[in-house]
């Protein structure tokens, strides 16, 4: 793989060497809009030219508010070409959240792309230049298409240096207010190189982009694909995701655990477990069934299939393994550009997040907090020097806030998170993550949060899965009761679950209970349900339904 100093340098190289190769492919309901490297270059240069004509100060911050689409990548490269710094914003944020990031980051302009509900967001945008895309509604400011029609392309520009600030990525805020992690051009170049060294990819690899580009993992994957001169296709919608994945047949696929669960449910809807197990048990049929399922899912050509952002239940990984699908769990953070640990096909241990990647230095603190140092570490939180100082130790290691342990072979298991620990009224500390992983094995459960601050014993707040919701209430009660009776004897005395509370509504991005990558927001859940803990705890039944 050829090495590049920046994503922009990689793009310019492939624009010259393979101008007619497909770079971006935007899917719509009934058609698609492909862009070659040459065609993308024309638009990038024209947008960069327009940005410079706005007269913004040097190294200004320019925001991108959009779902994943071709224009997101084009805007990001144009911002870099113009010498500015990109500020990605999650497209699901409401006006207040959008406004907070724009104000905190001191953004001087903003791109508005593909959105579901701009009307609920526009009040958060201050009086700054806005560029929007007619293809997606052309909802404010200057139209992208008008710029492309009238502007001359920027041909004379300075390639960004490795130490230049490239982007400020705001954390998803699972435990509080988002913080802006400052990443340099070199950080993303090193991340792309690290991924491409670890992951075997063919020439001109294909990738389906659907997880938020405002999240570091998706952006790092896209950078890696660009470094390989590959092609990135953008899913049209959540409803068309399965169809889009099947049509693309990507070489790399990344999903969070909830999506793996949803895919499993869709398979079992069409092919019940009993019938599936029977077919897989027949040698002559086994291979054909696996091939058909892999092709239907869109994973027939994938050489690297991974899961991240949250722990995935080992039994779910094993279920996919029986279908010939090897899910490799990895681990990383916004602050380290997701370059940390991953399982590989050549070194895979289910239940762990794998071994440290090349050039990653790791250690555990006296409290078993995972500390990491690599060539991709952020330069600090924007306008938060005190917080930055606290998250680095004297040797320059980033303190992740995650608790873990290594086995003799160097595989890392995440056992909890420092800030997630809570104390019962008996004075015992509980780490919820390992308990939640046990609950995630139960097919009746969609989401789980172990709580119990101030209670004698912890309780489990859950939302029911499609399987759980399909059961009669008494069947679900019996199933969950049996699960608790089986689980509790395996736990320490202070960890034993006293109640399971089945909530009425799922936790979603829209109601503020999950991040855009579908991780639960513990602080929001605690704030919302804590007044009810005691009343639930005092009920006689072990399984309680929210009324």
The pLDDT of residue 200: 78
The pLDDT of residue 542: 93
The greatest distance separating any two alpha carbons of the chain, rounded to the nearest whole angstrom, comes to 74
Pairing outcome for strands 32-36 and 22-27: antiparallel
* Burial class for 239, CB neighbours closer than 10 Å (0-12, 13-18, 19+): exposed
Question: CA–CA distance from 337 to each of 213, 265, 375, 405 (Å)?
Answer: 13, 31, 9, 21
Q: Using CA of residue 205, residue 211, residue 215, residue 217, what is the dihedral sign?
A: negative
393 neighbors 423 (Cβ within 8 angstroms): no
The pLDDT of residue 418: 82
User: Which of 61, 66, 67, 65 shows the shortest CA–CA distance to 79?
Assistant: 61
Domains 252-300+303-379+388-418 and 421-545 share a fold: no
The pLDDT of residue 11: 98
CATH architecture type of domain 7-231: 3-Layer(aba) Sandwich (3.40)
349 neighbors 391 (Cβ within 8 angstroms): no
User: Which of 208, 219, 188 shows the shortest CA–CA distance to 90?
Assistant: 219
The pLDDT of residue 412: 96
CA geometry: angle at 340 spanning 314 and 362, to 5°? 105
CATH number of 252-300+303-379+388-418: 3.40.50.12780
The pLDDT of residue 469: 93
Select 421-545's CATH number: 3.40.50.720, 3.40.50.2300, 3.40.630.20, 3.30.300.30: 3.30.300.30
Parse the chain into domains and list their residue ranges. Answer: 7-231, 252-300+303-379+388-418, 421-545
Q: Which residues of the chain have pLDDT under 70?
A: 1, 138, 172-176
Residues in CB range of 103: below 8 A, 6 or more apart: 126
* Burial class for 20, CB neighbours closer than 10 Å (0-12, 13-18, 19+): exposed
* Full-model pTM: 0.87
The pLDDT of residue 510: 85
169: alpha, beta or left? (left if phi > 0; alpha if psi -120 to 50): beta
């Amino acid at each position: 793989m050829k090495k590049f100093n920046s994503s922009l340098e990689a793009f310019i190289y492939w624009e010259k060497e393979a101008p007619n190769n497909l770079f971006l492919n935007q899917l719509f309901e009934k058609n698609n809009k492909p862009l070659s490297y040459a065609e993308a270059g024309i638009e990038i240069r024209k947008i960069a030219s327009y940005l410079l004509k706005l007269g913004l100060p040097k190294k200004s911050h320019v925001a991108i508010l959009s779902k994943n689409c071709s224009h997101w990548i084009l805007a990001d490269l144009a911002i870099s070409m113009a010498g500015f710094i990109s500020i990605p914003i999650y497209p699901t944020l409401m006006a207040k959240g959008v406004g907070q990031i724009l104000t905190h980051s001191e953004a001087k302009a903003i791109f508005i792309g593909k959105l579901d509900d701009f009307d609920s967001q526009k009040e958060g945008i201050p009086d700054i230049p806005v560029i929007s895309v007619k293809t997606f509604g052309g909802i404010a400011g200057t139209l992208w298409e008008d710029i492309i029609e009238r502007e001359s392309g920027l041909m004379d520009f300075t390639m960004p240096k490795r130490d230049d600030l490239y982007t400020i990525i705001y954390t998803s805020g699972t435990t509080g207010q988002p913080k802006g992690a400052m990443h340099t051009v070199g950080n993303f170049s090193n991340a792309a190189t690290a991924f491409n060294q670890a992951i075997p990819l063919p020439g001109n690899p294909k990738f389906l982009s659907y997880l938020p580009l405002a999240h570091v993992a998706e952006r790092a994957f896209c950078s890696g694909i660009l470094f390989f001169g590959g092609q990135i296709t953008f899913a049209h919608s959540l409803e068309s995701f399965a169809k889009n994945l099947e049509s693309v047949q990507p070489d790399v696929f990344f999903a969070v655990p909830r999506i793996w669960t949803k895919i499993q449910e869709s398979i079992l809807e069409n092919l019940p477990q009993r019938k599936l197990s029977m077919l897989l048990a027949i040698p002559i049929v086994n291979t054909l069934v696996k091939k058909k399922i892999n092709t239907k899912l869109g994973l027939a050509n994938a050489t690297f299939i991974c899961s991240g952002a949250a722990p995935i239940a080992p039994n779910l990984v094993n279920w996919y393994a029986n279908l010939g699908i090897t899910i490799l769990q990895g681990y990383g953070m916004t602050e380290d550009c997701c370059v940390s640990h991953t399982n590989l096909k050549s070194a895979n241990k289910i239940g762990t997040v794998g071994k440290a990647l090349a050039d990653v230095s790791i250690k555990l603190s006296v409290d078993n907090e995972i500390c990491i140092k690599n060539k991709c570490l952020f330069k600090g939180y924007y306008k938060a020097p005190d917080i930055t100082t606290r998250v680095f130790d004297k040797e320059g290691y980033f303190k992740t806030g995650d608790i873990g342990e290594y086995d003799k072979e160097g595989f890392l298991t995440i056992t909890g998170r420092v800030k997630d620990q809570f104390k019962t009224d008996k004075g015992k500390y509980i780490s919820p993550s390992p308990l939640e992983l046990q609950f995630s094995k139960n097919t009746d459960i969609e989401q789980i949060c172990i709580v119990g601050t101030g209670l004698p014993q912890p309780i489990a707040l859950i939302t029911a899965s499609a399987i759980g919701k399909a059961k009669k209430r008494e069947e679900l009660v019996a199933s969950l009761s049996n699960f608790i009776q089986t689980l509790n004897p395996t736990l320490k005395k202070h960890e034993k679950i006293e109640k399971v509370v089945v909530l009425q509504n799922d936790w979603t991005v829209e109601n503020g209970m999950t991040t855009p990558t579908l991780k639960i927001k513990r602080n929001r859940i605690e704030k919302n349900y804590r007044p009810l803990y005691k009343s639930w705890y005092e009920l006689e039944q072990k399984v309680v339904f929210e009324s």
